[in-house]
Structure 1
Amino acid sequence: MTSHAKGDWPPAVEVLNENGASDIVLLCEHASNHIPSEYRGLGLEARELQRHIAWDIGAAGVTRLVSRALDAPAFLGGYSRLLIDVNRPLGAESSIPVRSEATDIPGNIGIDADEKARRAKIMFTPFHEKVAAHLDRRAKAGRPTRLVTIHSFTPVFLGEKRPWHAGVLYAEAREFGEAILSGLRKDPALNAAANEPYVIARDGDYAIPVHGDDRGIPAVLIEIRQDLVSDEDGIQEWADRLVNALPPLNAGTG
């Protein structure tokens, strides 16, 4: 295995404010578009790696600001979702995609089980072990916890325009999700919807089912349309929106 030079092989997870006082725990699985040089961009041109297929544009910036504003712990992924998606179950078709949206990913075509296991060991497993250990410590200490994962989505997907500014996705945490939506909808100009543009499904999501619902932790996934968080002003605006929309503990947490 290639030696893990610090810059080319960053940690699988960047942890911010691990001892923060908030009951909110933030995840940003698609924070980075980093691909180590040995992968040669997975055969893609550099401009392709700036697109949504490689990461969630703006999501990391929003996560950092929300973490700071709430004094909340945050866990950010260190590698591009194209290498292995840490918000997909291992073995799922979308875990190591050979095609993303309408783009083929040459470096993922025909890879063997050893390479899949290597990526899981370096990038996927350490991320989730760190999150799980943090949640275990909180549970042992009797600390209340609500989980919020932050993502962004494309304004157009395979030719279809998406009208929403934001979506709040949930499975079992309906009360928490609807409370956040109510907060966002205080701005009448905002088109915010439940379970759009995706839905939570155990075969296509990881953090919400495993770290949230399976533990009995209220857990939601926030989707922000990426053209709204493509610059610093937009990132700040949406961080402020989320901070203001999150309900106080015990108000919309079930």
Structure 2
Amino acid sequence: MNLLVPADPAPFTVINANGSSPFLLTGDHAGLAIPSALGDLGVGPADWSRHIAIDIGVRDMGLELARLLDAPFIFQNYSRLVIDCNRDPARDDAIPASSDGTDIGGNQGLTEIDRLARVTSIHAPYHSGISEMISARLAAGQETILLALHSFTPILDEMRRPWSVGVLHAAGRIDFAICLLDALRRLPIKVGDNAPYAMDETDYSMPFHALSNDLRYAEIEVRQDLISQGEGQSFWAARLRDAMEEAWQRLT
């Protein structure tokens, strides 16, 4: 069942597909589109500019980082309120009924057919796109380090989050993530090691793509107030580029 009509955006966008870099960038929550069939999901305009709907700043930071690295960047075009592409689609929170105090009316009382339409139209094509890109790179003998770009709100549940950037990792080949942490810690900023989030059973993308293919990887979280504007996005793209290249040099 296809939820999307021709006037709707494609499920995902790929930039610089043939980039020569060992890095493959992804953006699970980079988009803000809504399928026309779903209206506004019962969510007011103010909430569509919040972190509950999008990883603020990630799309444009990722575009600049892809340019600086000559890396492919594949990112989701639809809001995480439509379906969260960093969740197993079988989980209830893949299509949240509420998020950080906001009820998502259009996500309440869904049938299994409703949920399946979002999975097959958006979630599955996005992850198939990533899988195909990884398979093509591996078949060509191209080194691939999977880097998931995210951003986090400075305050959550009335608690201030002091980190400028966090690097998330869990099982598998974490050597690049550890080297990236070391490179970032040499900067005059507070760096989170599995903070403000830990990579756990809620994460889908990295276990599905990096662990299953035995890839080096890292999930990178940048605080949203630092990349909400173009100047900050360019600054952090350059800062991450330098740290990523330093980390990779230590492993080669």
In structure 2, distance between residues paired with 1:112 and 1:169: 34
Shift of 1:174: 2.7
In structure 2, distance between residues paired with 1:178 and 1:130: 27
Please give the TM-score of this superposition, normalised by the length of structure 1: 0.94
Matching residue of 1:239: 237
CA RMSD in angstroms comes to: 1.5
Matching residue of 2:22: 23
Aligned partner letter, 1:221: E
Q: Which runs of 4+ in 1 moved over 2 A?
A: 247-253
Matching residue of 1:115: 114
Aligned partner letter, 2:128: E
Matching residue of 2:5: 4
- Shift in CA distance, 118/180, structure 1 to aligned 2, threshold 3 Å: same
In structure 1, distance between residues paired with 2:23 and 2:3: 37
- Contact 2:3–2:121 (8 Å) recurs in 1: no
Mapping of 1:124-135 within 5 angstroms?
Answer: 124-135=123-134
Shift of 1:160: 1.1
- Contact 2:3–2:117 (8 Å) recurs in 1: no
Mapping of 1:66-77 within 5 angstroms?
Answer: 66-77=65-76
Aligned partner letter, 2:159: E
* 2:215 aligned counterpart, secondary structure: coil
- Contact 1:166–1:223 (8 Å) recurs in 2: yes
Aligned partner letter, 1:47: A
* 2:6 aligned counterpart, secondary structure: coil
Q: Which stretches in structure 2 are left out of the alignment for 5+ residues? A: none
Matching residue of 1:220: 218
Please give the TM-score of this superposition, normalised by the length of structure 2: 0.95
Q: How far does the alpha carbon of each residue in 1:181-211 deviate from its partner, in whole angstroms, 9 at most, with x for none?
A: 12212222x001110111112x311111111
Shift of 1:97: 0.4
In structure 1, distance between residues paired with 2:22 and 2:187: 25
In structure 1, distance between residues paired with 2:114 and 2:58: 28
* 1:152 aligned counterpart, secondary structure: strand
Matching residue of 1:44: 43
Aligned partner letter, 1:238: W
- Shift in CA distance, 248/224, structure 1 to aligned 2, threshold 3 Å: closer
Shift of 1:178: 1.7
Aligned partner letter, 1:87: N
Q: Which stretches in structure 1 are left out of the alignment for 5+ residues? A: none
Mapping of 1:81-230 within 5 angstroms?
Answer: 81-172=80-171, 173-188=173-188, 190-201=189-200, 203-230=201-228
In structure 1, distance between residues paired with 2:90 and 2:3: 24
Aligned partner letter, 2:82: L
- Shift in CA distance, 89/19, structure 1 to aligned 2, threshold 3 Å: same
* 2:148 aligned counterpart, secondary structure: strand
Q: How far does the alpha carbon of each residue in 1:53-76 deviate from its partner, in whole angstroms, 9 at most, with x for none?
A: 001000111110010011101101
Aligned partner letter, 1:175: D
**Percent identity for Structure 1 against Structure 2:** 36
Shift of 1:177: 1.1
In structure 2, distance between residues paired with 1:90 and 1:220: 22
Q: How many residue pairs were aligned? A: 249
Shift of 1:252: 4.2
In structure 2, distance between residues paired with 1:2 and 1:22: 35
- Contact 1:177–1:252 (8 Å) recurs in 2: no
Shift of 1:214: 1.6
Q: How far does the alpha carbon of each residue in 1:203-233 deviate from its partner, in whole angstroms, 9 at most, with x for none?
A: 3111111110121001111000000001011
Shift of 1:89: 0.6
Aligned partner letter, 1:108: N
- Contact 1:177–1:194 (8 Å) recurs in 2: no
- Contact 1:12–1:127 (8 Å) recurs in 2: yes
- Contact 1:42–1:108 (8 Å) recurs in 2: yes
Q: How far does the alpha carbon of each residue in 1:18-59 deviate from its partner, in whole angstroms, 9 at most, with x for none?
A: 011001000011111111233221101112111110010001
